[in-house]
Amino acid sequence: MDLDKKQKYFEGVYKTEVDKIFRFVFFRVSSREEALDITEEVFYKFWQVISRDQSVDNSEAFLFASARNRVIDWYRKKRPESLDAMRERAEDNESLPFDVEDKDYGKALSVSVEAGWVLAALKNLSPEYREVMSMRFVDDLAPRQIAQILRVTPNAVSLRINHGLEKLRKELGINLDKDE
Amino acid sequence: MNKIDWQKGIKDLQNVSLTERERSELFVRISNRSPYAPIKSHWVIEQFVFVRRHGFVFSLLLIIALGAGTAFASEYALPGGLLYPIKINVNEPARGAIKILPEEKIEWEAKKAERRIEEAVILKSHEELNEEKQEKIETLFEKHKESFKTKSVRAIEKEEEKEEKKNAEEGDKRSEKAKKAVEKRLEDLEKAKKKAFE
């Protein structure tokens, strides 16, 4: 691919994915500025990869996985914890939390009351279900894509979504199916 | 919260996006960055944790490796790069200092000029040869070329002085030949430079 084609390809992916990646990061770091910086780094890395003719099978999965890694790094820098604990957490592939420091969650992010409720409901789920549920409903990713990003099987993702839905039904009385 | 609240909440969350201005500014910022800068691996952090656990051994190895590693890595540095000053201010003078014969030292000056041309060619192929880098390369190129010329002329004059005492005619021929060789080398360097920047 010559440089012109690479630039056009990058521009196309940027146009379709930038808002999704920004959103993904924003709800996890709760700061527009931090989210913008991380989004820039994610797309810059993607630009570096395609500039070097390295193949990217699924650009969306690549971008989400890259965003997830950068948010994990952001949490590591933010939280004063021992390096050993960091390593153990990384080895355990612990699920990525939302930034839950603000109690008045929706308000802090300048989103509607209902959106705040959704975020609070997701926040109440255990990390294992929270991440998958958020990717499925907020980021609108298919189980297959989530599986690629988290490097687990699609079956494991579907299972976690089912458990998450069950928890929402039991704890909040919301009856949802996978496609809602 | 009921199902309708949930659906509205999800829809609202999905409507969160960048402003037009943010979107275009971000794109410009990314486009202005060089895609050829080294890719920072996510694994660097994990490796760092490992290094911390074996601090003493790694400190020792690091001290040994750092000097040699930096010098080696800087050989591939290009203008604008972090290691480029090490390449031109440390590596190259050090390589020049170990040349023993005067002709080797002279040749090293021409070689350095050629290295600047190579850098220009690489930067050009990556579309990173901007005005500032070109100016820097040209300045260094001229410096090396001048040094090559001065040292060559001085060496020829020295030879001439020696030859005068022995065989003047033979000496003249040899010094003429040497002068032509120097001129030819300078011409070749100029041609290569012109080609690199055209």
Q: Is A98 on the interface with B (CB under 8 A)?
A: no
For residue B22, the chain A residues in CB contact (below 8 A) are: 36
Q: How far apart are CA A24 and CA A69, in angstroms?
A: 12
Gyration radius (Cα) of chain B, Å: 28
The residue whose two tokens read 């549920």 is A133
Contact B39, B47 (CB under 8 A): no
CB–CB contact B49 A115 (8 Å): no
Q: How far apart are CA B119 and CA A55, in angstroms?
A: 28
Long-range CB pairs of B185-192 (<8 Å, 24+ gap) are B185/B110, B185/B148, B186/B145, B186/B148, B186/B149, B189/B110, B189/B113, B189/B114, B189/B117, B189/B141, B189/B145, B189/B148, B190/B145, B192/B114, B192/B117
The residue whose two tokens read 């003047």 is B168
The pTM for the full model equals: 0.53
Tens of pLDDT, residues B158-173: 887 777 666 667 667 7
Tens of pLDDT, residues B78-110: 888 888 888 888 889 988 888 888 888 898 999
CB–CB contact A76 B45 (8 Å): yes
For residue A87, which of B107, B50, B112, B99 has the smallest C-alpha distance? B50
For residue A138, which of A159, A115, A104 has the smallest C-alpha distance? A115
Contact B5, A117 (CB under 8 A): yes
Residue B114 has pLDDT above 50, yes or no: yes
For A109, which DSSP code?
T
Q: What is the pLDDT of residue B90?
A: 87
More confident residue, B124 or A83: B124
Indicate the range of A40-49, A115-124, A158-167, B9-18 predicted with least confidence. A115-124
CB–CB contact A114 B27 (8 Å): no
Helices and strands of chain B, counted as H and E runs: 9, 0
Q: What is the pLDDT of residue A169?
A: 85
Nearest neighbour of A45 by CB, restricted to B26, B39, B50: B39
Mean pLDDT of B18-43: 76
**How many percent of chain B have pLDDT more than 90?**
10
For A139, which DSSP code?
S
More confident residue, B198 or A45: A45
ipTM (interface predicted TM):
0.78
For B75-167, where are the alpha helices, taking DSSP H only?
A: 84-86, 92-97, 102-125, 131-165
Single-letter amino acid code for the residue at B44: V
Residue of A72, A89, A114, A138 to mutate for B, most B C-beta atoms under 10 A: A114
CB–CB contact A137 B10 (8 Å): yes
Q: What is the pLDDT of residue B62?
A: 63
Single-letter amino acid code for the residue at B109: E
Distance from CA of B92 to the nearest CA of A (A): 30
Q: Which residue of A has its CA nearest to B23?
A: A18
Q: What is the pLDDT of residue A119?
A: 85
Q: Place A56 in a pLDDT band, splitting at 50, 70 and 90.
A: confident
Helix pair angle (A113-124, A154-172), 10° resolution: 110
More confident residue, B60 or B156: B156
Mean pLDDT of A93-112: 54
Q: What is the pLDDT of residue A100?
A: 41
The residue whose two tokens read 């690549």 is A62
Indicate the range of B23-27, B108-112, B124-128, B130-134 predicted with least confidence. B124-128
Q: What is the pLDDT of residue B166?
A: 67
Q: How far apart are CA A141 and CA B117, in angstroms?
A: 50
Distance from CA of A153 to the nearest CA of B (A): 22
Q: Quick one: tokens of A96? A: 């990525």
Q: What is the pLDDT of residue A101?
A: 43
More confident residue, A101 or A153: A153
CB–CB contact A23 B17 (8 Å): yes
User: How many angstroms from the chain centroid is the CA of residue B78?
Assistant: 3
Q: What is the pLDDT of residue B118?
A: 84
For chain A, where are the alpha helices, taking DSSP H only?
A: 3-29, 32-51, 59-78, 83-91, 105-108, 113-124, 127-137, 143-150, 154-172
Nearest neighbour of A36 by CB, restricted to B3, B5, B26: B26
Q: What is the pLDDT of residue A14?
A: 94
Q: How far apart are CA A36 and CA B21, in angstroms?
A: 12
Contact B26, A39 (CB under 8 A): yes
Q: What is the pLDDT of residue B55?
A: 60
Q: How far apart are CA A105 and CA B162, in angstroms?
A: 89
Nearest neighbour of B5 by CB, restricted to A43, A47, A117: A117
Residue A93 has pLDDT above 50, yes or no: no
Q: Place B77 in a pLDDT band, splitting at 50, 70 and 90.
A: confident
Q: Coil, strand or helix: which one is B89?
A: helix
- B34, HSE (Cβ side, Cα atoms, 13 Å): 15
